[in-house]
Structure 1
Amino acid sequence: MTTTTPAVRARSLAPSDLAYVAVFAALIAALALTPPIPVGSLGVPITLQTLGVALAGLCLGAWRGAAAVGLYLLVGLAGLPVFSGGKAGLAVLVGPTGGYLLSFVLAAFLTGLIAQFVVRRGLSRLTPLWLFLGVFAVRVAVIWPLGVAGIARAVGKPIGDLWLSDLAFWPGDILKGIVAALVAYAVHKAFPRLLGR
């Protein structure tokens, strides 16, 4: 009979981890299905998906947050209508929103790393500010360029011509980032062990 060492058990996914991943994947799907706000003629509406992505990373940490977003994408690509506007399938990835969707996994992972760094150093009054700055930094460094690249490929225009088109999403994303930081701060105060080791 083989025995499992504590180090091996620490690296494996616990049932609670799988439950958290599934719950946050469902949350992202629910937020994605809220009525979108059309912006311009590029076919990319304002949705609450990015709020769900930020919450997954901030609350679950890097790996579980990215896994929640990955599960959400897999469910949508498999054919369930969980993307904005009730869309589904692989065709969504070649549309204008494809770059944004693909950026979400990396965004959740990086946001989760930031949350782990900030929260594990102790909660303070400044914690929501640091969490918000982390969310917005990832938004600028990851979601913006990959999203614009996806639009450019879909509509056949140079990326340089479309950089400013993404600015229409920034006011809403700032508000969503503030909400995500405040909710994550409250969650970590209530459940201090949520990020685990």
Structure 2
Amino acid sequence: MSTLTLTLGRPTLADTIFSRSLTTDLVLVSAGAAVTAAMAQLVVPLYPVPITGQTLAVLLVGSTLGATRGMLSMLLYAILGIVGLPVFSEASSGLGVLAGTTGGYIVGFIFAAGLTGWLAQRDWDKKFLGAAISFLAGTGLTFVFGLTWLALVTGGTLEQVLAWGLYPFIIGGVIKAGIAAAIIPSTWKLSAAIASKRNQ
């Protein structure tokens, strides 16, 4: 008899710690949204797009939960912000944020979590190099959405949009991808070591 679950793909890091079930999946999806909301409050104010900790959270959530649960987690995060919970950067909320200069990044988080989760379900996150490539790809996908949205909202030139929404974030994006690429494979090794001890 199969257990009802939100994800049917290959197991991820979360599945080595928790048994798959609908209840567990709902808790993990909610926890992912909560972590992203908390990291959104780590802000370096810039106009028109601030530097935040959100992208690091997105990479970690996507990789840990997998494509389906990762995307659902980021979708929940976006919905919570739209309905008025202060989960966006600097405790902001509302549809106006999504329609504003940072809205594309928030939408991009959903797809970035999906991409990193999909790659994680194919073992890209078990070693540093694969994880780093996966997380850089997720970061890049976030910028594709963010920059396109920013251009539409501001009507800025390509150079302006890149100056506002990309150049200030390149170093931080690489650092965040590196941090995530160090955390996730190390956690896989720790999980494997714990499982080995349990089986002895």
Structure 2 length-normalised TM: 0.81
SS at match of 1:117: coil
Moved more, 18-27 or 82-91: 18-27
SS at match of 1:162: helix
From 24, 41, 47, the equivalent of 1:16 is: 24
Q: What displacement does 1:186 show?
A: 2.6
**AA in 1 matched with 2:90:** G
Match of 1:67 in 2: 72
1:127-149, CA deviations, whole angstroms, 9 ceiling, x for partnerless residues?
A: 02211111102222x21221111
Q: What displacement does 1:163 show?
A: 3.0
From 77, 85, 88, the equivalent of 2:90 is: 85
Match of 2:2 in 1: 6
**Corresponding pairs, count:** 179
Match of 2:57 in 1: 52
State the distance in 2 between where 1:169 and 1:160 align: 15
**AA in 2 matched with 1:178:** G
1:151-190, CA deviations, whole angstroms, 9 ceiling, x for partnerless residues?
A: 1122122446423541210101111111112221233233
Mapped pair 1:144 → 2:152: no
Unaligned runs of 5+ in 2: 9-19, 193-200
Q: What displacement does 1:112 show?
A: 0.5
**AA in 2 matched with 1:81:** P
State the distance in 2 between where 1:171 and 1:69 align: 24
Match of 1:179 in 2: 179
Unaligned runs of 5+ in 1: 193-197
**AA in 2 matched with 1:167:** Y
Q: Percent identity?
A: 34
Mapped pair 1:97 → 2:102: yes
1:24-56, CA deviations, whole angstroms, 9 ceiling, x for partnerless residues?
A: 11111100012x1123x4x10100000000001
Match of 1:195 in 2: none
State the distance in 1 between where 2:172 and 2:124 align: 25
SS at match of 2:144: helix
Match of 1:154 in 2: 153
State the distance in 1 between where 2:88 and 2:174 align: 22
State the distance in 1 between where 2:101 and 2:124 align: 35
Mapped pair 1:38 → 2:45: yes
Could you say what the CA RMSD is over the residues aligned between the two structures, in angstroms? 2.2
Q: What displacement does 1:13 show?
A: 4.8
* Over 6 Å off, 4+ runs: 7-10
